[in-house]
Structure formats: C-alpha cells, structure tokens
C-alpha cells in the first residue's frame, strides 16, 4: 500500500478547499445576479437563460446548483435571512445581552445590511412578502429569535402565542419598510440624517412595545 506524505495530503486538502470556495463564490454570484433581476424586473420575469448570460456562464451551470427557478428564488430568500441570523448571533455570542440591547443591535445591523447590498435587500423583502414562497430554515430561525427576544422584553407570560406572533411580525415588517425607505432615499440623505432617522425609528418601536407590556 502506498502511503501519502503529509505534504501530499495537505496539497489535496488545499485543492479541495479551493474548489469549495470557488463553488461558494459562484453560488453567491448566481444569487446576487438573481436578486438584481428581481429588483429590476420582478421575480415573475426572471429567466435562467438571462441570468446565465449576465454572469457569463451557461444555463446548465446555473441548473447544477439550482434545479429550477423556484429553488433559486428560495435560495435568494434564505441567504438574506441567514445574514440576519448571523447578525443576531454576532451581537450576542455568549447569550448574555439584555433583550432591549439586543433588539436595538438587531435593528441597527439590519439597516446596515440593507445599505451594504440594497438590490439584494430589496429582492429578499419582495420575495419574503410573496405568499407563494414558503418559509425556509433561516427565515424560521429569524422569526423564532425575534419572538424569543420580544417575550423576554415584554415579560409576556400572560400573552397568547398569536399576540407575540403579531407583535413580532409588526416589528419586523416595520423595520423592513423603514430600511427600504432609507435605501430608496439614500441619495437625498447624509449620514447624520440616516443616523437620526434610525434613532427616531427605534424610539418609535420601543414606545409601542412598552405600551404592550
């Protein structure tokens, strides 16, 4: 039997790692292009052939990663919500932050993400609001984390589950609408106005939450 040297094993692992990074980069390229088309023309007008042409690959390459248009659009949504999950985890890695502090951090990070990639954000929001798309793992994870934080903040042992669901949906939909308004008016606002707007929004949200305690 021929044993591989440590150097050969390292080389094989390096090649494998590189290929995985290349695959992940291509998947992200596909998702970003899909988000651009959704933002520009709506998801009903997304065609795999047009997307492939935009990223200079063949349609077959796209289908290797996403078997159909529905799977591709669901992946766009999930990628967006995965980022939100990561934001919440990074804001409180030890799980020790106060619920109000973590809610504020979540809202601030949410707005930052919207500005980081406005087209992708617009696409995710429009797709997530479409009743034809079922919620995925990361979208459910975001909803559950927000509900948990609100339960802690409200001290809501006396509240029914549907009430918490309603409050969580109201907060998140308000945050998405606020973020969309900011990125759509970005050219008309300087950083000072954006920061001031965010403070006003956060104050507005917590005044509403306190009235439901």
pLDDT at 17: 80
What class does CATH assign to 14-210?
mainly alpha
**Which tokens belong to 60?**
């077959």
Mean pLDDT of 140-159: 86
pLDDT band at 155 (very low <50, low <70, confident <90, very high): confident
pLDDT band at 133 (very low <50, low <70, confident <90, very high): confident
Residue pair 124/76 in contact (Cβ under 8 Å)? The answer is yes
Read off the pTM. Answer: 0.83
Handedness of CA 22, 24, 29, 33 (dihedral sign): positive
> pLDDT digits over 195-207, tens only?
999 999 999 999 9
Exposure letters 53-84 (e unless 16+ CB within 10 A, then b): eeeebeeeebeeebeebeebbbbbbbbbbbbb
Q: What is the percent of the chain where pLDDT is above 70? A: 89
pLDDT, residue 13, reads: 54
pLDDT of 162-174, one tens digit each? 999 999 999 999 9
pLDDT at 28 over 90: yes
CA-to-CA separations, 30 to 61, 63, 66, 152, in angstroms, rounded: 10, 10, 9, 39
Over residues 43-101, the pLDDT tens digits come to 999 999 999 999 999 999 999 999 999 999 999 999 999 988 887 777 665 555 688 98
Domains in the chain: boundaries: 14-210
């Amino acid at each position: 039997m021929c044993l591989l040297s440590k150097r050969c094993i390292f080389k094989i692992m390096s090649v494998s790692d590189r290929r995985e990074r290349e695959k992940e980069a291509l998947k992200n390229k596909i998702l970003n292009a899909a988000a651009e088309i959704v933002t520009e023309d709506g998801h009903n007008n997304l065609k795999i052939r047009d997307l492939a042409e935009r990223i200079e690959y063949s349609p077959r390459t796209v289908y290797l990663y996403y078997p159909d248009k529905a799977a591709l659009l669901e992946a766009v949504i999930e990628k967006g919500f995965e980022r939100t999950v990561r934001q919440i985890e990074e804001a409180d890695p030890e799980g020790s932050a106060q619920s109000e502090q973590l809610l504020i951090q979540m809202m601030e990070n949410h707005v930052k993400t919207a500005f980081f990639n406005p087209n992708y954000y617009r696409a995710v929001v429009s797709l997530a609001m479409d009743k034809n798309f079922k919620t995925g793992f990361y979208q459910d994870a975001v909803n559950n984390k927000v509900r948990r934080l609100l339960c802690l903040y409200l001290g809501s042992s006396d509240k029914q589950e549907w009430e918490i669901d309603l409050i969580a949906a109201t907060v998140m939909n308000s945050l998405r609408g606020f973020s969309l308004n900011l990125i759509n008016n970005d050219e008309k606002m300087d950083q000072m106005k954006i920061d001031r707007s965010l403070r006003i929004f956060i104050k507005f949200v917590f005044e509403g939450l306190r009235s439901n305690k």
